[in-house]
Amino acid sequence: MKYVSYLLGGLSAAAAATYSVVYLIRWEWQRALICGVLLLVIEGLLVGTVLLSRLGRLERQLADSGRRTDEVWRRLEESRSEDGVRFRWLEQGAADGTHRTYVFVPVLMAAGALLSGVAWVVQRISAATVRPGAERRLAGRLARLTAPGDERGDRIPELEDREAVPRPRALRTAVVSGVAVAAVLLLALLVDTLSDATQTRPGKATGAAATTVVYEVRVRGSDSASARALAARELWESCRRSTAALNVHAPLTRLDGDVWAGVIRPALSEHDVLRLRGCLADATAHRTSARVLGESQVRQVH
């Protein structure tokens, strides 16, 4: 479930970033801002999910460590709670405080000598009767604890045989460098394309006499024709000033119902037409939405 949430969050962030770039290129600033805010929200959710996952893991580890500590502490308490004295004969046996250790020392020395002799006899007998296969089986059991062998001859390398500085991996370095250079070039190309599409600059002359834009206006929550006409004119006056060209002559005419046609003289450049179309489609006016039906360049008639 965690990886599914990461996947969905990553796909949502990629879609929000992509549409942010698309809306910036189309000069639809309100939609670009909404996608940018959505991208920040998704990134915050992903970071929060990762942090909560790590904190939950740390909490579980601390809880397990606490349980183990409590168990060890409980066992220590149980071992300390055992009452009684194991060597009562070493306690003070008389009122004057004298100890009866004069019996313990000789007995301890004699018992130690006897046990040493028994251990020596057992070691001699086991060394004489043990089979060679016993050590081999023991070596097989301990093989799992040994270090991995050398690939060149199944020999465990000594510390002196290892290189102090590992050899450089030329292929890996070349691949990483190539990927890094490609990523930098792709980022530079993306930034250049985005800045070229969104920067304000003087447009090139198209040779046309005028530019015509046809769009449809809708106002939510209002059935008044005058309200829709007012919204259409406010939207047109606001958007025609968003272009880089000084369009003084820009009359607006109603064609049919809520369909309007705006004519701008002199003609706008291709970049300004894109800005005008994006502004109309973005519809920043209150409760107003517009849909561009088409635009065209009107040629001069000789």
Q: Could you report the per-residue pLDDT of 238-286, keeping only the tens digit for each?
A: 888 878 777 778 888 888 888 888 888 888 888 888 888 888 888 766 7
Q: How far is CA 196 from CA 10, 25, 36, 60, 276, in A?
A: 28, 9, 20, 52, 17
CA terminus-to-terminus distance, the chain:
70
Does the N-terminal peptide bond of residue 157 adopt cis geometry, omega within 30 degrees of 0? Answer: no
| Mean pLDDT of the region 36-58 | 90
| Mean pLDDT of the region 185-190 | 86
Q: How far is CA 2 from CA 41, 49, 167, 291, in A?
A: 18, 9, 39, 41
Which residues does 110 contact at the CB level (< 8 Å), separation at least 6?
Answer: none
Q: What is the pTM of this model?
A: 0.50
From start to end of the chain, where are the E strands? 208-219, 252-256, 259-264, 288-299
Q: In the prediction, which pLDDT does 181 show?
A: 92
Strand order in the sheet with 252-256: 252-256, 259-264, 208-219, 288-299
Which residues does 113 contact at the CB level (< 8 Å), separation at least 6?
Answer: none
